[in-house]
A and B are shown apart, each in its own frame.
Chain A
């Protein structure tokens, strides 16, 4: 929560798109922005791992060989096996699928609902704005994880409900971000001109205001993805997200933590490092994107 919150403060000031950003070629841009290349590269690797997980390991993530149980990392099982003889590496690789799809869906919920609320509130103003923004304030008043836990608990401990819960707690960031931008953009001449020409409010919002928000939203969505991966891991760790036997990083750490007492650490370390790398990749990419896309931020640097 805090990570994306600090992201919010900085991106809020973004001005309309600077065209010179787009002029440089793709690889030239990457060469000039090594952080963008590193963050982006990690994210691409992560997505490829999720897509091609079955090709990357000979082992089944769900059905293990019990005679092979609790093997330490070695030549055959690179990250060891759990008590049911399942290959930890296979579960980590397949876990990327769950983690990324949960993140993608919950971020979509957050962006979709949040941006809509922000557009409506910012554009209509008055009572609608007041009401919607107080609702957002109320959502923000809850510690995010606690709200996610209670929503998931209320709806039932299933991964679909975890997605909804994570989506709901990321709505306020987008609503506030969008509303703030709409308030400043709608006074600009080209919007006034469009309004004078009789363009409908919905069309102005979608065709004239939203495109100017794109950069800010891309940066925020990247940071929220890191946040969503972390939240999914926590919810699954607490038994509220993915249910066994489906491979999930958070749930696997919870399942294997009982063996840590016997110094059998590998069942928890594999998925833990995976969470760290995934969250790090999206945080890093988000920061790099902000430096690159946000003209005000770039000028300061």
Chain B
């Protein structure tokens, strides 16, 4: 197991290297002279050249990459072109709001997916199952920005139950914080909820056909004990993988969801930065989310092996 983890981490290094190259090149692809973006109104060629030199932009591209990588590894992502704030600082400021939103959305989609998926599998082809299947298909096909707008229309403007957007820190006003998170979390969880429901249902159906479940029934165990103690225990293993891989989907969803609900998180920061051609911020967020996605994938694989002892790590794959 330890050997496997070490091997996986070693294999991650070249991929992480390529990820940094791509993130670096993305900034260089951007049209326009970066010096002009930083200099504001100044157009004196001499001053511009001096700035270019001090920013290291007169160096060849590979040198620039190495310098950039060195700074990035120390957590220095440069300054925002728009606000001149340290990029790392700007991201850290917005991170709690995003983590809260994605956390609540994930919690909601996992618990609801588990409950509805289980009942769907138990009462196959019932009205509930058909309804759940319908919701599943709708959930993966509806764009979440449209879903968000429709939720605002219904719950904020017509029924006036929840506010249409904005954020209230939990420390200042926990109740208002909860009230404001309902709609964005619901929006963000729709796509993953659909997938979780489908995954729970299909893996439970697989498990129900296996011998050990029949044995448990023959032993006279109650249906509840069979589901909780036997079926879910094994049936949930594939679900762990699916949920683990949803980190990427949640990051993507947060970009749009935060935009619609004026949620002051990292996703809104990215969209605002793109509008303002603030490439250092975009680059940092892209790089950090790719790295966190890679790490979460690794964690999923480790947890998967720990849950399912049948998986052998010693034979390479």
Q: Which residues of A contact B (CB under 8 A)?
A: 1-3, 5-6, 134-135, 137-139, 141-147, 149-151, 153-156, 226, 230, 233-234, 237-240, 250, 253, 257, 260-261, 263, 265, 268-269, 272, 275-276, 279-280, 283-284
B195 interfacial by beta-carbon distance below 8 Å: yes
Minimal Cβ-Cβ distance residue in B for A260: B153
B158 interfacial by beta-carbon distance below 8 Å: yes
* Contact present for A150 and B289 (CB under 8 Å): no
- Stretch of B15-23, B171-179, B307-315 lying at the A interface: B15-23
In the assembled complex, the Cα of A107 lies from the Cα of B145 at a distance in Å of: 23
Chain A residues with CB below 8 A from B259, complex form: 238
In the assembled complex, the Cα of A141 lies from the Cα of B20 at a distance in Å of: 11
* Contact present for A146 and B285 (CB under 8 Å): yes
Contact pick for A138, options B22, B195, B277, B289, CB 8 Å: B22
- Could you jot down 16 A-B contacts, CB within 8 Å? A5-B245, A134-B14, A134-B18, A138-B19, A141-B291, A142-B289, A143-B289, A145-B252, A146-B286, A146-B289, A149-B255, A149-B270, A275-B143, A276-B143, A283-B137, A283-B140
Chain A residues with CB below 8 A from B300, complex form: none
* Contact present for A280 and B249 (CB under 8 Å): no
Chain B residues with CB below 8 A from A143, complex form: 248-249, 251-252, 289-290, 293
In the assembled complex, the Cα of A142 lies from the Cα of B286 at a distance in Å of: 7
Minimal Cβ-Cβ distance residue in B for A137: B15
Chain A residues with CB below 8 A from B137, complex form: 280, 283-284
Minimal Cβ-Cβ distance residue in A for B285: A146
Contact pick for B294, options A135, A141, A239, CB 8 Å: A141
CB-contacts of B188-221 with A (<8 A): 191-192, 195
* Contact present for B274 and A146 (CB under 8 Å): no
A285 to nearest B CB, angstroms? 12
Minimal Cβ-Cβ distance residue in B for A144: B252
In the assembled complex, the Cα of A145 lies from the Cα of B149 at a distance in Å of: 20
* Contact present for B141 and A283 (CB under 8 Å): yes
Chain A residues with CB below 8 A from B285, complex form: 146
CB-contacts of B213-242 with A (<8 A): 242
Chain B residues with CB below 8 A from A145, complex form: 252, 255-256
Chain B residues with CB below 8 A from A268, complex form: 146, 149
Contact residues of A: prevailing secondary structure: helix
B150 interfacial by beta-carbon distance below 8 Å: yes
Contact residues of B: prevailing secondary structure: helix
* Contact present for A154 and B14 (CB under 8 Å): no
Chain A residues with CB below 8 A from B270, complex form: 146, 149
Contact pick for B141, options A261, A265, A269, A276, CB 8 Å: A276
A79 to nearest B CB, angstroms? 15
Chain B residues with CB below 8 A from A234, complex form: 143, 145, 256
B93 to nearest A CB, angstroms? 19
Chain B residues with CB below 8 A from A134, complex form: 14-15, 18
- Chain B positions 118 through 134: 1 when the CB is less than 8 Å from some CB of chain A, otherwise 0: 00000000000000000
A-B Cβ contacts below 8 A, count: 147
- Chain B positions 36 through 48: 1 when the CB is less than 8 Å from some CB of chain A, otherwise 0: 0000000000000
Chain A residues with CB below 8 A from B282, complex form: 149-150, 153
In the assembled complex, the Cα of A155 lies from the Cα of B191 at a distance in Å of: 29
Contact pick for A253, options B146, B252, B290, CB 8 Å: B146
B31 interfacial by beta-carbon distance below 8 Å: yes
Chain B residues with CB below 8 A from A261, complex form: 157, 164
Minimal Cβ-Cβ distance residue in B for A269: B150
In the assembled complex, the Cα of A156 lies from the Cα of B137 at a distance in Å of: 34
* Contact present for B275 and A239 (CB under 8 Å): yes
* Contact present for B15 and A138 (CB under 8 Å): yes
Chain B residues with CB below 8 A from A280, complex form: 137-138, 141
B1 interfacial by beta-carbon distance below 8 Å: no
B302 interfacial by beta-carbon distance below 8 Å: no
Minimal Cβ-Cβ distance residue in B for A282: B141
B271 interfacial by beta-carbon distance below 8 Å: yes
Chain A residues with CB below 8 A from B249, complex form: 1-2, 143
Minimal Cβ-Cβ distance residue in B for A261: B157
Minimal Cβ-Cβ distance residue in A for B17: A138
Interface centre among B16, B149, B192, B255 (most CB of A within 10 A): B149
A135 to nearest B CB, angstroms? 6
B288 to nearest A CB, angstroms? 10
In the assembled complex, the Cα of A1 lies from the Cα of B249 at a distance in Å of: 7
* Contact present for B192 and A263 (CB under 8 Å): no
Chain B residues with CB below 8 A from A2, complex form: 140, 191-192, 195, 245-246, 248-249
